[in-house]
């Protein structure tokens, strides 16, 4: 990740297709083609595991499994598990919005048909491939499939409410359950096999086009998950499996009572005694799917804010140490290099900064936050951004840049326009330009910002459950004109990366010398020339932006 590059943040559920939800099929490869056409090197996604409460990808029933609803019916047909007639009568999805109810009704029916077709006419080759997959993924797959079978039978994912012998995983009870639910377990294994096949095809297509995938790993896992049921010893639970403390963040300027996230907290001492085996297997699985991983809530690897589970607010919590450097040393020893992005947003302590620097991980910067804190100081934040960082205009938890801008106080909007040399109509494009022209090695822009969309396209509002994770691209939203405009900007800012024509690294691969270089305090070789080029582009682009609107207002 050591050359100037850029990419787009878009979750597969947001892709446009004839179904109620985006998936890994033709719309995904079409998006890769758009990335190539627009000169982008990266496709960043949200977590791709099974979703939980409110359809959140950050509340999953497994830290290893893939989201079954990302399976493409078109690819199931192509692979011989469905016929076109099986899906022709479906109701098309609404444009611009995921329909989760229709998704579940339709796709579960299609998946059952695909599984039945496999069992009846799968053939020896496919059966051997399936059995090989089950063996290769045995660390998590068998228990996850059993968890789903029992969950569906018990009517709840809260395993603490199951029959005691299953809740406590008595060996004889597990043997009986596996025998009783044999067909259900095999069905869930089949679904994960098909997810693996479709994912590998997508990643191979990305690699053939010189596009890399960036994944996202939440630090915490849901209590209602196979992982906590199978490995209760690595979480802070009582004898009945209930959480004694939950993760959160303390009160601050934004939240007077703090945030109570509700996920179980790790016993890092137990994990260390197990040589972090569960975590290493989790990361191994993720790196088999993605080239780079965003570590959500990186601060939590240094210290975790724990709230008593019975509290309704986070006011009475306290910090406890996380895995720290010992954890990452074990990961590096087991897996080699650490192609991670540290999502280090929030209050950074010296310990967090020291760990990130020790690991030489790029940190995260969000221009909405950067500008919002500096608007009254007349400082242009993009010139101050570290080279070893990943810059976003916004994230899935932010409003879109257009929505954010419209909600700023009048004086701040005026100040921002002055900073950017933009007007009301061109401020979002100017924000993207500021990110692209910055010194940061990597820039990721949410698709909503590329399309200049407002609050209606927001992906998530933290702290709420209903109405999130629904936004989708409309048909033909990603036009050739948009791709060409983005490609021109990307090339001028030294980030062009499509079709294998990557810009040369601006800093050495070996020896990122010195602390100042790693922190971006001094420009790397070629940076002065790049600054000249981007300054020229900025002046040119500002003229174009003004011409498109009606002048600064």
Q: Among 457, 527, 451, 544, which residue's Cα sits nearest to residue 493?
A: 527
Query: Active-site residue among 23, 143, 343, 344?
Result: 343
The residues, ordered by sequence, that sit 6+ positions from 234 with a Cβ below 8 Å of its Cβ are 266, 267, 270, 271, 274, 278
Rg of the Cα trace of the chain? 24
Q: Which of 397, 424, 452, 542 is catalytic?
A: 397
CB 50 within 8 A of CB 65: yes
Distance from C-alpha of 131 to C-alpha of 428, rounded to nearest angstrom = 50
Told to judge if 296 belongs to the known catalytic residues of this protein, a careful annotator would answer yes
Phi, psi of 130 (to 5 degrees): -65, -50
For residues 135 and 140, what is the distance between their CA atoms, to the nearest angstrom?
10
Q: In what order do the strands lie in the sheet with 389-392?
A: 340-342, 292-295, 212-217, 42-44, 5-9, 442-446, 389-392, 363-366
- Closest to 309 (Cα-Cα) out of 257, 242, 222: 242
Q: Name the phi and psi angles at 488, rounded to 5.
A: -60, -45
3-state helix, strand, coil in the chain (%, to 5): 50, 10, 40
Tokens encoding 479? 């036009």
Tell me the pairing of strands 292-295 and 42-44: unpaired
CA-CA-CA-CA dihedral for 60, 261, 466, 62, to nearest 10: 0
Closest of 87, 82, 53, 47 to residue 67, by C-alpha:
47
DSSP 8-state code for residue 215: E
Partners of 43 in beta bridges: 8, 213
d(CA 415, CA 276) in angstroms, rounded, equals: 49
Is residue 255 left, alpha or beta, with left meaning phi > 0 and alpha meaning psi from -120 to 50?
Answer: beta
Catalytic position from the list 296, 370, 399, 449? 296
- Closest alpha carbon to 296 in 70, 49, 465: 49
Structure tokens at 4: 């100037």
* CB proximity list for 128: less than 8 A, separation 6 or greater: none
Q: What span, in angstroms and rounded, lies between the C-alpha atoms of 66 and 373? A: 38
Give the total residue count for the chain. 553
Can you name the residues that pair with 97 across neighbouring β-strands?
471
Say if CB 411 and CB 357 are below 8 A apart: no
Tell how many helices (H) and how many strands (E) occur in the chain. 21, 12
475 is catalytic: no
- Could you confirm whether 514 is annotated as catalytic? no
- Whether 43 and 442 have beta carbons less than 8 Å apart is answered as no
Hey, which residues are catalytic here?
296, 343, 397
């Amino acid at each position: 990740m050591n050359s100037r590059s850029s990419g787009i943040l878009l979750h597969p559920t947001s892709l446009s297709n004839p179904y109620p939800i985006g998936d890994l099929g033709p719309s995904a490869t079409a998006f890769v083609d758009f990335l190539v056409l627009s000169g982008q090197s990266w496709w960043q996604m949200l977590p791709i595991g099974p979703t939980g409460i409110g359809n959140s990808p950050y509340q999953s029933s497994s830290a290893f499994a893939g989201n079954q609803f990302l399976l493409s019916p078109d690819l199931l047909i192509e692979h011989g598990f469905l016929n076109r007639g099986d899906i022709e009568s479906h109701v098309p999805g609404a444009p611009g919005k995921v329909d989760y109810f229709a998704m579940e009704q339709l796709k579960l029916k299609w998946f059952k048909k695909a599984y039945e077709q496999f069992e009846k006419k799968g053939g020896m080759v496919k059966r051997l491939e399936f059995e090989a997959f089950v063996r290769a993924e045995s660390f998590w797959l068998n228990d996850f499939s059993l968890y789903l079978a029992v969950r569906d039978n018990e009517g709840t994912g809260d395993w603490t409410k199951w029959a005691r012998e299953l809740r406590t995983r008595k060996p004889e009870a597990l043997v009986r359950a596996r025998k009783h639910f044999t067909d259900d377990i095999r069905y869930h294994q089949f679904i994960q096999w098909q997810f693996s096949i479709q994912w590998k095809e997508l990643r191979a297509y990305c690699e053939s086009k010189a596009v890399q995938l960036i994944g996202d790993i939440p630090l915490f896992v849901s209590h209602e998950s196979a992982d906590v049921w199978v490995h209760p010893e690595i979480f802070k639970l009582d004898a009945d499996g209930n959480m004694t403390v939950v993760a959160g963040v303390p009160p601050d300027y934004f939240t007077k009572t703090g945030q109570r996230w509700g996920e179980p907290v790790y016993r890092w001492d137990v994990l260390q005694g197990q040589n972090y085996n569960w975590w290493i297997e989790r990361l191994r699985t993720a790196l088999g799917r993605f080239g780079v991983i965003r570590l959500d809530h990186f601060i939590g690897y240094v210290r975790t804010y724990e709230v008593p589970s019975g509290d309704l607010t986070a006011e009475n919590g306290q910090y406890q140490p996380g895995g720290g450097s010992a954890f990452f040393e074990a990961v590096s020893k087991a897996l080699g290099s650490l192609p991670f992005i540290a999502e280090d947003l929030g209050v950074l302590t010296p310990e967090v900064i020291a760990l990130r620097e020790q690991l030489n991980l790029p940190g995260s910067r969000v221009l909405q936050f950067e500008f919002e804190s500096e608007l009254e100081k007349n400082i242009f934040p993009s010139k101050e951004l570290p080279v070893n960082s990943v810059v976003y205009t916004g994230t899935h938890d932010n409003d879109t840049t257009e929505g954010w801008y419209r909600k700023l106080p009048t004086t701040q909007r005026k100040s921002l326009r002055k900073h950017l040399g933009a007007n009301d109509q061109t401020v979002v494009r100017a924000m993207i330009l500021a990110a692209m022209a910055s010194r940061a090695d990597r820039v990721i822009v949410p698709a909503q910002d590329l399309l200049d969309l407002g609050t209606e396209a927001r992906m998530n509002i933290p702290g709420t459950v209903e109405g999130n994770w629904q936004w989708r691209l409309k048909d033909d939203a990603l036009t050739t004109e948009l791709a060409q405009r983005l490609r021109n900007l990307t090339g001028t800012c030294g980030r062009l990366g499509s079709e294998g024509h990557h810009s040369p690294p601006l800093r050495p691969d070996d020896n990122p010398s010195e602390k100042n270089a790693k922190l971006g305090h001094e420009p790397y070789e070629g940076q002065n020339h790049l600054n000249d080029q981007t300054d020229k582009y900025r002046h040119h682009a500002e003229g174009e932006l003004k011409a498109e609107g009606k002048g600064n207002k």
